[in-house]
Structure 1
Amino acid sequence: MTKYQLRESALELLTRIGEQGGYSHVLLDQEMRKHRLSQKDGALLTEIVYGTLQNKLKIDYQIHPYITNQKKLKPWVKWLLYMSVYQMLYLERVPDHAVIHESVEISKRKGHKGISSLVNGVLRNVQRNGVKDTEAITDPLEKLSIETSHPVWLVKRWVRLYGMDLTRGICFQNLKHLPMSVRVQTLRISRSEAATELKSRGIVAEESLFSSQGLLITEGRILNDPLFKKGLVTVQDQSSMLAAEMMDLTPGDAVLDACSAPGGKTTHIAEKLSDRGEVTAYDLHKKKANLVKEKAELLQLSSIKADQADSRKLGQVHQEESFDRILLDAPCSGLGVLRGKPDIKYHKKEQDIYDLRTIQDSLLVSLAPLLKKGGKLVYSTCTVDQHENEGAVKEFLNQNKDFTVDSSFVEDLPDFLKDSTGISEYGLQLFPQQWDTDGFFLTRLVKR
């Protein structure tokens, strides 16, 4: 793929993500598979797409003075300007003149002379005048919003919940690259053997402190490695590995994973059970449930039974007190995973948090009868919002007096997390800047 074609591809992806609500990680993966991109081209395409999305509001602040009526811009022109300015401001290895030339050529092919003149004019102005300072913004919340490209409503909400210092930490961390971590299928290969084999192919991995199965990839590309392709390692964020680690599993347990796709936590549960017992996994969508089946087959795990169902209605499928353990990795706003999915912050509205909470409450209430007495339920989300996390747990406990927070969950945490500032009476909140992971919440409830 030529650099011109690559930038056209980036523009198409950004327009679909920004205007049609496509998921950045899904569309990027599809594009790279479709064109069988080399490692170098794939890295550049990813950099342009993710970098543009992560910095959209700051870029918009830069180009705003040079466009008289931004609302009249066609969507693809707006995204062409965004991605071009991103490359000019952030990619030192790409010369400005090359970016401007290719952007003007794209605008000529896709539009008319007026559009190409506008694109050329805006980019020349940015090149000539440099980065516009944010010091002129007097409102500290608006300034933080522009500097870190987080919508003002979100910045205000986090400041209200956590204060300015913690909010600044979250926002600036969300602009940084998320380290790649993987989970080793230790029923087939040990963690040390996997690390040694990866090293022989130039992939450097450190042992994760979050899970005895985790590896942090510090150098090299894991997705093309035989260990990944054979299902001996699975990509999973370190914070996410805590869900199965906290379930207090014993081989032979009957386990329910209520919202299981794409299957990372499901397969981790099966591995913790030594593939003995039964992991019943559901997802609302048939296609996603099939992903869990495929993941289980790739990892050679036979204890997983995956199917499509609305987990709010599982009382019609299973008898009460059928399961020793339940994992509810609940549908949530995803505000803890903005580093890997930056488009989320532009697509979400504050009302979505409250709408999702209704679903979370309903799931907890519906699943509670399915747990055996003395059984344990882990509730987790990939968000950093109190309303979806501590708030949901508190409400559930108020309504279900036969449940309590299993305070012993702290004992099962890795040592470095046992005195974490994120521990409350309702669970553990991880923020992305604390341990360079996704933002994540989890707690363990026990049925009396």
Structure 2
Amino acid sequence: MAKYVLRETALHLLTRIGEQGGFSHVLLDREMSKQELSRQDGALLTEIVYGTLQRRDLIDYYIQPYTAGQKKIKPWVRWLLYMSVYQMIFLERVPDHAVIHEAVEISKKRGHKGISSFMNGVLRNVQRKGVQSLDHIENDVMRLAVETSHPEWLVRRWVDQYGMETTRLMCEANNHHLPMSIRIQPLRISRSDAAGELRQEGFSVEESPFSTQGLVVKEGNIINHRLFKEGFVSVQDQSSMLVAEMMDLDEGMAVLDACSAPGGKTTHIAEKMKDKGSVTAYDLHEKKAKLVSKKAEQLQLTSIKAGQADSRTLTSVHASESFDRILLDAPCSGLGVLRGKPDIKYHKSEEDIYKLRSIQDDLFHEVAPLLKSGGKLVYSTCTVDRHENEEAVRHFLDQHPEYELDPSFVNDLPDALRQGEGLTETGLQLFPHEWDTDGFFLTRLVKK
């Protein structure tokens, strides 16, 4: 793909994500499949789109002195400025003159001479004069928010919960590439055989300390590899793999996955039980429930039955004490997955956290009667907010004295995680900077 066309594509995606609320990972994956991009072009497109989204607020601060006189800037023009400045400042391999030339050409094609002159003027100023210093921002929280392009309310909230140093590390980690990790289907291939085949073909892979089925792909595109296409491996973050590992599963169990789409944890549960037993999986949306069935089919797993249901009504569907294990991977703010979905931080508000917590409480309350005595319930989220995690668990235990924290939870964790900064009496909070994973929370409760 010509670099000019590639940057037009990047601009189209950024405008859709930034102005129309499209999901970055969905739109980018769709575009990559449609265009059949080379490995190099795909990497550059991904870098421009994700990098620009990750650094949006910082770039906006950088260019303010050069755009302040412009009364109204069209959204596509602003995004073209953002992506151009991102390339000039953060991508060393792309020459400034090439970035400026292509930005001006796109401006001429999409707008008029006034826009292309404005574009040229701003970018030339950035090239010649540089950008304004962050030292002008005296407030520490505000400066960290701008520097790492996180909303100020979110930075302030994390500082209140975890302190400035952990917040800084989290925010900085969120602006760096998340390594891809995969999970082998152990009924079809061993981890050593999968790793051996990938290494033989030029991939750089390491074993995950989180799961005996996990591999971290340091280099190479697994999506185009036969192991992925033929269902020998699936893509899943290491933190997410920890869920099934911590469910204390045995063959033949009856398991409920109350919020299952897109099916990564559901299929992992079935694999851990050697596809013997039953996994009843629900999602609020029928289309998403079908994704779970499709994933099970790809991995050749037959013990999963996926269907549409609001899991806040499951006591009308299943009798009390129907399940040996329950997974409640609750809908959450997603503030732990900003590395792979950077647009989330601009679309969420503090109010969303409290609305979601209400849903989490309802789900917790509804699935509680469905677990057998002596059974175990794993609660997990892909967020780092205490209100959705530790406080939600404490609230549930206060309301349900028949449950308690599983005393063997900590001992069952992988060795490396038993000393983690986020391990509390309520569960395990994984931070994105600790293990180069998503931010994630999980705990395990037992029914007395």
* TM-score for both structures, normalised by structure 1: 0.99
Taking the TM superposition and a 5 Å limit, the aligned residue runs for 1:8-87 are: 8-68=8-68, 72-87=72-87
Cα shift readout 1:75-99 (whole Å, capped 9, x = no counterpart):
1111111001001111111111111
Moved more, 110-119 or 62-71: 62-71
User: Post-superposition shift, 1:419?
Assistant: 2.5
SS in structure 2 opposite 1:135? Answer: helix
Q: Distance in 1 between matches of 2:71 and 2:353?
A: 28
The aligned residue for residue 94 of structure 1 is 94
1:389 aligns with 2:389: yes
Q: Distance in 2 between matches of 1:262 and 1:69?
A: 47
The aligned residue for residue 191 of structure 2 is 191
What residue identity is the alignment partner of 1:400?
Answer: H
The aligned residue for residue 207 of structure 1 is 207
Cα shift readout 1:205-258 (whole Å, capped 9, x = no counterpart):
111110000001122211111101111111111111110001000100000111
Q: Distance in 2 between matches of 1:74 and 1:330?
A: 38
User: Post-superposition shift, 1:70?
Assistant: 6.0
Q: Distance in 1 between matches of 2:138 and 2:34?
A: 47
1:329 aligns with 2:334: no
What residue identity is the alignment partner of 1:314?
Answer: L
The aligned residue for residue 415 of structure 2 is 415
What residue identity is the alignment partner of 1:432?
Answer: P
User: Post-superposition shift, 1:2?
Assistant: 1.4
Taking the TM superposition and a 5 Å limit, the aligned residue runs for 1:165-176 are: 165-176=165-176
What residue identity is the alignment partner of 1:65?
Answer: P
SS in structure 2 opposite 1:72? Answer: coil
The aligned residue for residue 225 of structure 1 is 225
- 8 Å contact 1:334–1:382 — kept in the other structure? yes
Cα shift readout 1:295-345 (whole Å, capped 9, x = no counterpart):
100100000111111111111211111111010111101111111111111
Taking the TM superposition and a 5 Å limit, the aligned residue runs for 1:353-372 are: 353-372=353-372
Moved more, 316-325 or 296-305: 316-325
> Number of residues paired by the alignment?
448
Q: Distance in 1 between matches of 2:270 and 2:360?
A: 24
| Cα 1:317–1:71 shift into 2, 3 Å | farther
Cα shift readout 1:139-186 (whole Å, capped 9, x = no counterpart):
111111111111111110000111111111111111111111111111
What residue identity is the alignment partner of 1:219?
Answer: E
The aligned residue for residue 308 of structure 2 is 308
User: Post-superposition shift, 1:131?
Assistant: 3.2
- 8 Å contact 1:255–1:325 — kept in the other structure? yes
- 8 Å contact 1:283–1:309 — kept in the other structure? yes
What residue identity is the alignment partner of 2:197?
Answer: E
Q: Distance in 2 between matches of 1:151 and 1:130?
A: 24
User: Post-superposition shift, 1:397?
Assistant: 0.5
The aligned residue for residue 122 of structure 2 is 122
Q: Distance in 2 between matches of 1:271 and 1:99?
A: 48
Q: Distance in 2 between matches of 1:284 and 1:316?
A: 15
User: Post-superposition shift, 1:412?
Assistant: 1.1
The aligned residue for residue 134 of structure 1 is 134
SS in structure 2 opposite 1:195? Answer: helix
What residue identity is the alignment partner of 1:207?
Answer: E
> Tell me, which stretches of 5 or more residues in structure 1 are unaligned?
none
Q: Distance in 2 between matches of 1:239 and 1:101?
A: 43
- 8 Å contact 2:63–2:131 — kept in the other structure? no
Q: Distance in 2 between matches of 1:137 and 1:366?
A: 48
SS in structure 1 opposite 2:318? Answer: coil
- 8 Å contact 1:335–1:345 — kept in the other structure? yes
Q: Distance in 2 between matches of 1:424 and 1:166?
A: 16
- 8 Å contact 2:48–2:87 — kept in the other structure? yes
Q: Distance in 2 between matches of 1:319 and 1:330?
A: 21
- 8 Å contact 1:282–1:307 — kept in the other structure? yes
What residue identity is the alignment partner of 2:53?
Answer: L
The aligned residue for residue 441 of structure 1 is 441
The aligned residue for residue 298 of structure 2 is 298
What residue identity is the alignment partner of 1:13?
Answer: L
User: Post-superposition shift, 1:122?
Assistant: 0.8
| Cα 1:242–1:218 shift into 2, 3 Å | same
The aligned residue for residue 343 of structure 1 is 343
User: Post-superposition shift, 1:71?
Assistant: 6.5
- 8 Å contact 1:278–1:304 — kept in the other structure? yes
Q: Distance in 2 between matches of 1:80 and 1:23?
A: 19
Q: Distance in 1 between matches of 2:16 and 2:285?
A: 22
What residue identity is the alignment partner of 1:127?
Answer: Q
- 8 Å contact 2:214–2:238 — kept in the other structure? yes
The aligned residue for residue 286 of structure 2 is 286
- 8 Å contact 1:255–1:279 — kept in the other structure? yes
What is the alpha-carbon root mean square deviation over aligned residues? 1.0
- 8 Å contact 1:263–1:292 — kept in the other structure? yes
User: Post-superposition shift, 1:132?
Assistant: 2.4
User: Post-superposition shift, 1:69?
Assistant: 5.3
The aligned residue for residue 402 of structure 1 is 402
Q: Distance in 2 between matches of 1:5 and 1:58?
A: 26
Q: Distance in 2 between matches of 1:66 and 1:205?
A: 45
> Tell me, which stretches of 5 or more residues in structure 2 are unaligned?
none
Q: Distance in 2 between matches of 1:316 and 1:410?
A: 34
- 8 Å contact 1:64–1:70 — kept in the other structure? no
The aligned residue for residue 143 of structure 2 is 143
SS in structure 1 opposite 2:374? Answer: strand
Cα shift readout 1:44-83 (whole Å, capped 9, x = no counterpart):
1100000000000110011111113567211111111100
